[in-house]
């Protein structure tokens, strides 16, 4: 990610670039809010974090701690190597000019208060249990897709991440989650150095992804 648009765009200065992203995110969220939702539940909330800011610095710290503790827990390497890898990820994330955390309300209690654990440890997955919760989660995913498409239409890159960090007390506390809020994704936003190649699809369209029903 880049902290500024490509040089072909007549924009200079960090504050201007931050304002461009802030406005684009607002338009994207407006687009996201048009996603279908059952009984007008409007379940999705988007939490915007612009960089640099106190919130983005806290997010970077959380990323470091989550990565370090995960690597250490899985015993993938020694403590020093785990710290180096966690710092590498922190530095990589520091180059991302904006983040959006998408949450869906009305879910099951996402906390496990019976166990004392690190704020950076992964919480157990408490998936949707009822039809309404399932429909709201599906609506939230549709909202995120709308948001990504809106950003893309303005030449802004994004990445929808669903790693361990979205299931931690630390991230939930940062954005002020309620007990029944489920984090659906952490979206990274900025300008890309180069347009990635479209991955080769594993399934063909006709007869596999798209099937005609004949009786």
Q: Which helix (H) or strand (E) holds 83?
A: helix 79-93
Tens-place pLDDT, residues 54-95: 999 999 999 999 999 999 888 777 899 999 999 999 999 999
Percent of the chain whose pLDDT exceeds 70: 90
| Residue 115: per-residue pLDDT | 57
How far, in Å, are 103, 177, 183 from residue 55 at the CA level? Answer: 17, 15, 17
pLDDT tens per residue, range 183-214: 999 999 999 887 778 888 889 999 999 999 99
Task: State residue 3's pLDDT score.
Answer: 60
Contacts of 29 (CB under 8 A, 6+ apart): 46, 48, 100, 147
Helix 79-93 / helix 54-73 crossing angle, nearest 10 deg: 150
């Amino acid at each position: 990610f880049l902290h500024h648009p490509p040089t072909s765009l007549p924009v200079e200065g960090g504050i201007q670039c931050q304002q461009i992203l802030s406005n684009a995110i607002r338009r994207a969220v407006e687009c996201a809010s048009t996603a279908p939702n059952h009984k007008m539940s409007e379940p999705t909330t988007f939490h915007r974090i612009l960089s640099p800011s106190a919130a983005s610095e806290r997010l970077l710290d959380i990323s470091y701690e989550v990565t370090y503790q995960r690597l250490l827990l899985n015993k993938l390497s020694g403590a020093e190597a785990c710290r180096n890898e966690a710092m590498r990820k922190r530095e990589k994330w520091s180059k991302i000019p904006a983040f959006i955390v998408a949450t869906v309300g009305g879910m099951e209690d996402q906390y496990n208060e019976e166990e004392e654990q690190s704020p950076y440890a992964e919480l157990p997955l408490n998936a949707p249990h009822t039809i309404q919760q399932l429909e709201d989660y599906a609506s939230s995913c549709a909202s995120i897709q709308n948001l990504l498409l809106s950003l893309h239409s303005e030449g802004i890159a994004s990445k929808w991440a669903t790693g361990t960090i979205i299931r931690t007390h630390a991230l939930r506390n940062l954005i002020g989650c309620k007990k029944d809020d489920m984090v659906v994704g952490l979206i990274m936003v900025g300008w890309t150095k180069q347009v990635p190649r479209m991955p080769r699809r594993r399934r063909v369209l006709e007869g596999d992804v798209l099937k005609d029903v004949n009786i």
